[in-house]
Amino acid sequence: MIGRVQQWLAARSDRERRLLGLAATVAVALGVGSLGLAVLEDLATLEARVAAHERELVAVRRLAATVAGTHHDAGDDGAMMTRLQAATDAARLADRVTAMTPVAATAADGSAGSRLTVRVGGASLAETVHLLHALDEADASLGVTRLGLRKLFDDPRRFDVTLEIAGGGP
């Protein structure tokens, strides 16, 4: 096959060989240029998606800070768990709650308060925000004192969420 192409080129005049070389060079340059533009367009799209996710994360952190500043008196741990269960039901995350651990905490001023650590597996940022809104809008708002997000390695759009809920405020 290559031998035929070489024979065919050898049969062409010097001018025809130069024109064929120029045409091949232009075709390769256009192909490389098109590929480069496609890569740049894909990178711009990915950068826009990352920026949007970063804005969502900032909004979640801002909301968590707002909710963390809100402390209300709460009853016993059972009532707090019930209100938390209602909030996870409202956020449609009840099936993904992996742990609810009561923690007895003593504040710096010596007053005792109850806290609850909640872990939710595989929640998206939107679902996390919905849960924080549900916690804030509960009959007696639950104060979020700590919010932790850990990205899942197999699905970067999902997180393991850890919330520390304050049942008794200062």
Q: How many domains does the chain have?
A: 1
Per residue in 10-40, pLDDT tens? 999 999 999 999 999 999 999 999 999 999 9
Model pLDDT for residues 37-95, shown as the tens digit of each residue: 999 999 999 999 999 998 888 888 877 777 665 444 444 556 777 777 777 877 888 88
Burial status of residue 72 (CB atoms within 10 A of its CB: 0-12, 13-18, 19 or more): middle
Name, in order, each residue with C-beta under 8 angstroms of 40's C-beta and a sequence gap of 6 or more: none
pLDDT of residue 18: 93
pLDDT class of 140 with cuts at 50, 70, 90: low
Sheet containing strand 143-151, strands side by side = 97-106, 112-123, 159-166, 143-151
> Is the model more confident about 40 or about 115?
40
- The pTM of this model reads 0.49
pLDDT value, residue 128: 84
Report which of residues 150 and 113 the model is more confident about: 150
Check residue 44 and give its pLDDT.
Answer: 94
CB-CB neighbours of 126 under 10 Å: 11
Residues with Cβ within 8 Å of 121's Cβ and at least 6 positions away in sequence, in order, are 96, 98, 160
Number of Cβ within 10 Å of residue 168's Cβ equals 19
Would you say residue 103 has pLDDT above 60? yes
Residue-range definition of the domain harbouring residue 98: 1-170
The pLDDT assigned to 50 comes to: 92
CA 108 to chain centre: 34
